[in-house]
Amino acid sequence: MKREEMKIGSSSCFTGSLAEEALAPLAKAGLDYLEYTGNYIFYMRNCDFPKNAEKILETVRKSGLEPWSFHLPFSRKLDISNADKELRAITIVTNRTLIEAAARAGVKVIVLHPSSEPIADEDRPERLRLSREAIIELAEVAKENEVRLAVENLPRTCLTRTSDEMIELVKGTGAGVIFDTNHNLIEDNVDYINNVADAGLELLSIHISDYYRDENGVLDERHTLPGTGINKWNDIVDTLVARGYEGPLMYEVPAKAKNRDPENPITPEELTQNMRDLRDGKIK
């Protein structure tokens, strides 16, 4: 796929809602795809996603968008690498239920965090083992439901903070990778993409946003619009294309981004224009 052919999409974190009136302005502004995003309470209580998956799909399509991906919920308790057997079992059952519902809601890719944090160095091998076991199980659930499981690279002390760890965790599990452009605090983004591709892992989706160092020089995830941080966007997009990425430019930027005046949130039109500029190479 050529970069000028890439579709554009957004996580529902931009709207904080799956209602038609919230999503329709995104489609009107020119977006193609949506990622369902929510926490446990949102999915299991507020909208009862397992029960209402088909209705939610109908609403999304009526708004003018097409579902692309579904972000499984995560927290320190809802963690597939949790050493607490009961909490880990609850997490896996919850994820299984939501994968089955997400498939009915029209998605192609299931997004999974391989851990929460903090993780001490001495606990890392065991957390990797537990995470990998769960990934194998959930990848099979995804396959049974004709969707793909994608493991996300994460920052700080989380699992997959390096490409070597992603490869160790995911290779041979049946899962692929979703690459987040504002999570790499140790390794260059282009190097990370190339390393996992060289290892034979399939890049199934991406999360696009920018990041930067704060006034104290601390680099951390920020989830701001591309062009507001340190990412070298043409290098990243060119590498994605060269490594065979076939999905959309999927943004994960809330309307009230961290560097944004809450009284002046990002509009759907501004979001879409940024996406087009990124795709067209205007954001370096």
pLDDT tens for 126-148 read 999 999 999 999 999 999 999 99
Rounded average pLDDT over 237-248: 97
Q: Tell me, what amino acid is at 273?
A: Q
Q: What pairs with residue 179 in β-bridges? A: 206
Per-residue pLDDT of 177-209, as tens digits, reads 999 999 999 999 999 999 999 999 999 999 999
> For residue 1, is pLDDT > 90?
no
The confidence band for 113, taking pLDDT boundaries of 50, 70 and 90, is very high
Rounded average pLDDT over 75-92: 97
Per-residue pLDDT of 94-110, as tens digits, reads 999 999 999 999 999 99
| CB of 268 closer than 8 Å to CB of 31 | yes
Rounded average pLDDT over 153-176: 98
Residue 53's pLDDT is 98
Distances (CA, A) of 271 to 4, 60, 219, 226: 17, 18, 24, 10
Determine the topology of domain 3-279 in CATH. TIM Barrel (3.20.20)
Closest listed residue to residue 7, CA positions, set 28, 31, 34 = 31
Work out the burial of residue 278: count CB atoms within 10 Å of its CB; fewer than 13 is exposed, 13-18 middle, 19 or more buried: buried
The position carrying tokens 């795709």 is 279
